[in-house]
Amino acid sequence: GQSLEQPSEVTAVEGAIVQINCTYQTSGFYGLSWYQQHDGGAPTFLSYNALDGLEETGRFSSFLSRSDSYGYLLLQELQMKDSASYFCAVRDGNAGKSTFGDGTTLTVKP
């Protein structure tokens, strides 16, 4: 079966850098995605890695190592609005069929 592991909670202060790790076990692998979800809102796409390495999008970066079945999301210059849940998801077939981790709740404190 498919499984993803990520920390359940992370706390950091404004302006800091935080890294959310994700390890996965899947029968097939086409890429690792990250989603942000604020309370009561819909998950929104942050980044996608199909190949090893770092992808940077503004304050957010995502890294993938396929040999280690591992990835991380790096958030820099944290802002209060970054307080949310962050999900890693593995695409193990068609894009619409993704397996999600249980999510990491990030709390940013002043």
Residue ranges that bind another protein, judged by CB under 8 A: 30-31, 33, 35, 41-45, 48, 50, 87, 89, 91, 93-103
Nearest-approach distance from CB 18 to another protein, in angstroms:
20
Copy the structure tokens of residue 69.
Answer: 């079945």
Q: 49-84 burial by CB neighbour count: b if 16+ within 10 A, else e?
A: beeeeebeeeebbbbbeeeebebbbbbeebeeebbb
In whole angstroms, how close is the CB of 109 to another protein at the nearest point? 21
Smaller CB separation from another protein, 8 or 13: 8
Q: Which of 18, 43 has the CB closer to another protein? A: 43
Q: How far is the CB of 33 from another protein (least distance, A)?
A: 7
Q: What Å distances lie between residue 45 and 6, 9, 14, 60, CA to CA?
A: 17, 20, 22, 12
Whichever of 9 and 14 has its CB closer to another protein, that residue is 9
